[in-house]
Amino acid sequence: MAKRQFKSESKRLLNLMINSIYTHKEIFLRELISNASDAIDKSYYLYLTNKDLVFNKDDFYIRITPDEDERTLTVSDTGIGMTKEELDSNLGVIAKSGSFDFKEENELKEGIDIIGQFGVGFYSAFMVAEKVTVISRKEGSEKAYKWESSGIDGYTISPCEKDKVGTDVILKIKPSTEDEDYDEFLDPYNLKRLVKTYSDFIKYPIKMKMKKRRLKEGSKNEYEDYYEDEILNSMVPIWRKNKNELKEEDYVKFYKEKHFGFDNPLKYIHVSTEGAVSYNAILYIPAKAPFDYYTKEFEKGLELYSNGVMIMKKCGELLPDYFGFVQGLVDSPDFSLNISREMLQHDRQLQFVAKKLNEKIKSELLSMLKDERENYEKFYKQFGRTLKYGLYSDWGISRETLEDLIMFYSSHEKKLVTLDEYVSRMKEDQKYIYYATGESIDKLSKLPQAELIADKGYEILYFIDEIDEFAIKVLLTYKDKEFKNISSSDIDIDAGKDSSGIDEGNKDLFAFMKEALGDKVKEVRASKRLKTHPVCLATEGEVSIEMEKVLKAMPDKPADIHAQKILEINTNHKIYEKLKDAYENDREKLKKYSNVLFNQALLIEGLTIDDPVQYANDVYELI
Ligand code: ADP
């Protein structure tokens, strides 16, 4: 039979599994059981909601069968099963490619840790098996197929017999070596221990035939062996357990079993509420953003259960976009099993729960900010942008939820600070919350416009994320303090005596320079904010230079939005004398000066020059 080839990413993962020296190979069982449980979830739901199918709770279970003689371990389920095509596409490629997002081959070698960090799914079977056979029959089909692979060189799929719908995963366990004991994966007592450790919360029974001894019938001293089904797991889903019974590690285990994230979560939240709508929820704040988090592919949502039955794997309606990073599940007896995707938005119970969870997430984040600052900053570095985006995208409707959660880098603290922290230490004479926008903290800390503000001892927030200024424009104020871009024309800062009154006497000089620069600037004027630098740009109106950059980079540019630029000249700088001199004696030279200074101001802002050749020529000539 012709061998089919694994997709290349899958090959690498497979390779890692086969050659794994990972010490916790046993997690393969958790992975297979979790797949089995997911498959049963699907058919369980189908049977519950389809009147034509006869529902019998006892039909849904997982069975583990070790066979020491054959050296096989079989994990069977009565779940939804797979068609031939599904066997091919589901097991021939990593389903969640990128959940295994290693870039370098040496990461692969170090990848041993990756296995422990997060679930690696079906392929983990190859850590303990030299051959894996999957026999599956799809719900509603008479036909069954067998998928078989001994590793890297591919797999085969062929028709076979199977009397019940569902899937058997049969592992041919590797022979033990001096260093590695694989026999333990055939030992029923050890398997039982593994199920207890990793899969206790699975809600379907995980059965195994256990060997027992009993007195032979009619005999007083003769014993015989017999086998009896034992259910290995407690089957109480973790979210229904009492919080006091659970330890942090239980939540972490569950997080990994569910593949909610790659790392240990930063925080877990367990809510159990009785009331108008009763519900249990377990929510997690991941430590790391998923690789696709900031792409369109990312799908937010929580698992949705009605009385323990899974209805939906990703219910997006339960989370606002700005909390889209939250992972977890909600279970309520008040959710209707037959709730349809279309109806979700109008479902009152669901809306109620969503609102409550939203409040809970906010309060947990706030307490994290207060009590676990370091963790909060870790969180913020991963997900802060989502919060700011949230402010912007709904025009401030969620400001109450978000304004106390956002942070910015500060010129004073040299670290992230909240708006509350900023405002609480504003100087007495300070009117505004000052901010500067640009590409990097380093560049911003050198901005000419910042000098005087810094001299006054005012703190400046550094906006280095594109969304920052847009978000702030929506907020407008925080605790009644207005935000002010340090480059805006009406900076309204008292620079002291030496720069006042200069405008008047030099009106003509500036008018000439403005004339020379044409439309590029709205005005040329004496600066009240510069100290040692000769020039800078200021902007007038709502659109700042950074905003212009962002808007220009948009695929469908809003028509002709640009910042109104003002060229500010430091009249205390010796360059100013040169300008005056040129104005008196050489107007052509002044035109060149104007052009060069303007272009330099652009460069300082990180903007591009329209005509670099002209600029270069002007500079050469002046030299
Ligand atoms: P993941 O479970 O993370 O999606 P896996 O590699 O473990 O990735 O499995 C890939 C896919 O194969 C699953 O998403 C599922 O569609 C399918 N699958 C695996 N095991 C089973 C099973 N026992 N029954 C039905 N489908 C399964």
pLDDT one-digit tens code per residue, 57-101: 999 999 999 999 999 999 999 999 999 999 998 887 654 433 444
Our answer on whether the CB atom of 39 is closer than 6 Å to any ligand 1 atom is yes
pLDDT, one tens digit per residue, over 183-235 is 999 999 999 999 988 788 888 999 999 999 999 988 889 999 999 999 999 88
Check pocket membership of 6 for ligand 1, CB cut-off 6 A.
no
Q: Which residue has the CA at smallest separation from atom 17 of ligand 1?
A: 90
Rounded alpha-carbon distances, angstroms, from residue 253 to 117, 238, 303, 467, 474 = 11, 10, 17, 36, 41
What's the gap in Å between 299 CA and the centre of ligand 1? 19
- Expressed in angstroms and rounded, the spacing between residue 86 Cα and the centre of ligand 1 is 9
Give the pLDDT of residue 539: 87
Distance from the alpha carbon of residue 191 to the mean position of ligand 1, in angstroms: 21
Q: Is 259 in the pocket of ligand 1 (CB under 6 A)?
A: yes
Residue with tokens 């014993």: 223
pLDDT-above-90 percentage for the chain: 53
Q: Residue 103: what pLDDT?
A: 42
pTM: 0.73
pLDDT the model gives residue 29: 93
With a 6 Å cutoff on the Cβ, whether 35 touches ligand 1 is: yes
Decide: 95 in ligand 1 pocket, CB within 6 A: yes
Q: Strand 144-149 vs strand 129-137: parallel, antiparallel, or unpaired?
A: antiparallel
Residue 372 confidence (pLDDT): 96
Residue ranges, comma separated, of all CATH 1.20.120.790 domains in the chain are 500-537+562-622
The answer to whether the CB of 28 is under 6 A from ligand 1 is no
Taking CA atoms only, the protein residue closest to ligand 1 atom 11 is 90
CB of 320 sitting under 6 A from ligand 1: no
Helix H or strand E segment including 133: strand 129-137
Contact between residue 265 and residue 251 where contact means Cβ atoms under 8 Å apart: yes
* pLDDT > 90? residue 448: no
406-485 CATH? 3.40.50.11260
If DSSP codes are grouped into helix, strand and coil, which group holds residue 487? Answer: coil
Query: In what order do the strands lie in the sheet containing 267-273?
Result: 267-273, 279-285, 327-331, 302-306, 309-315
Q: Given this model, what pLDDT does residue 233 score?
A: 93
How many Cα atoms are found within 13 Å in the side-chain-facing hemisphere of 330? Answer: 28
| CA of 327 relative to ligand 1 center, distance in Å | 20
Ligand 1 atom with the smallest distance to the CA of 166 is: 24
For the chain, how long is the longest CA-to-CA vector?
Answer: 128
Start-end ranges of CATH 3.30.565.10 in the chain? 8-231
Q: Encoding tokens for residue 322?
A: 């700005």
> Class for domain 240-372, per CATH?
alpha beta
139 lines ligand 1 (CB under 6 A): no
Does domain 500-537+562-622 fall into CATH 1.20.120.790?
Answer: yes
Q: How far apart are CA 71 and CA 157, in angstroms?
A: 22
Q: Which of 32, 38, 42, 137 to mutate to test the pocket of ligand 1 (most atoms within 8 A of CB)?
A: 38
Query: What pLDDT, in 10s, does the model give residues 451-462?
Result: 888 888 999 999
pLDDT at position 444 is 87
pLDDT for the residue 106:
43
Sequence-distant (≥ 6) Cβ neighbours of residue 173 within 8 angstroms? 71, 72, 73, 128, 129, 130, 182, 183, 185, 186
Q: Taking a C-beta distance cutoff of 8 angstroms, is the pair 160, 50 a contact?
A: no
Is 290 a pocket residue for ligand 1 (Cβ < 6 Å)? no
The pLDDT value recorded for residue 402 is 95
Segment holding 576, helix H or strand E:
helix 574-585
Chain region(s) in the chain for CATH 3.40.50.11260: 406-485
Q: Which of 155, 169, 128, 135 is nearest to 33 (CA)?
A: 169
Nearest CA to ligand 1 atom 21: 35
> Taking residues 470-499, what's their average pLDDT?
80
Residue 96 near ligand 1, beta carbon < 6 Å: yes
Which tens digit of pLDDT belongs to each residue from 264-305?
A: 999 999 999 998 899 999 999 999 998 888 888 899 999 998
Closest-CA residue to 30 (of 128, 97, 98) = 128
Confidence of residue 500 (pLDDT cuts 50, 70, 90): very low
Mean pLDDT, rounded, for 354-378: 96
Q: Does residue 23 surpass a pLDDT of 60?
A: yes
Kindly give the residue spans of alpha helices, DSSP state H, lying in 223-299: 248-257
Q: What is the mean pLDDT of residues 453-474?
A: 90
Q: Which of 90, 97, 155 to mutate to test the pocket of ligand 1 (most atoms within 8 A of CB)?
A: 90
Instruction: Let me know the angle formed at the C-alpha of 449 by 446 and 451, rounded to the nearest 5 degrees.
Output: 65
What mean pLDDT is reported for the chain?
87
- The verdict on the CB of residue 36 being under 6 Å from ligand 1 is yes
The CATH code for residues 8-231 is 3.30.565.10
Comparing 107-111, 160-164, 559-563, which segment has the lowest mean pLDDT? 107-111
- Please state, in angstroms and rounded to a whole number, the distance separating the CA atoms of residues 236 and 233: 8
CA 132 / ligand 1 centre spacing (Å): 14
Instruction: Give the Cα separation of 468 and 438 in Å (integer).
Output: 10
**Whether residue 111 has pLDDT greater than 50:** no
Confidence of residue 19 (pLDDT cuts 50, 70, 90): confident
Instruction: Give tens-digit pLDDT for 507-554.
Output: 889 999 999 999 889 999 988 888 888 988 888 887 888 888 777 777
Ligand 1 centroid to residue 411 C-alpha, Å: 50
Tokens of 1: 């039979």
| Cβ 82 under 6 angstroms from ligand 1 | yes
Cα angle 271, 273, 275; round to 5? 160
Q: If you measure from the C-alpha of residue 32 to the centroid of ligand 1, how many angstroms do you get, rounded to a whole number?
A: 8
Nearest CA to ligand 1 atom 23: 36
- Whether 370 has a pLDDT exceeding 90, the answer reads yes
Q: Lowest-confidence range among 7-11, 20-24, 81-85, 199-203?
A: 20-24
Q: Which residue has the higher pLDDT, 379 or 454?
A: 379
Give span(s): CATH 3.30.230.80, the chain: 240-372
From ligand 1's centre to the CA of 170, what distance in Å? 15
Q: Residue 481 forms beta bridges with which residues? A: 478
Strand partners, 478: 481
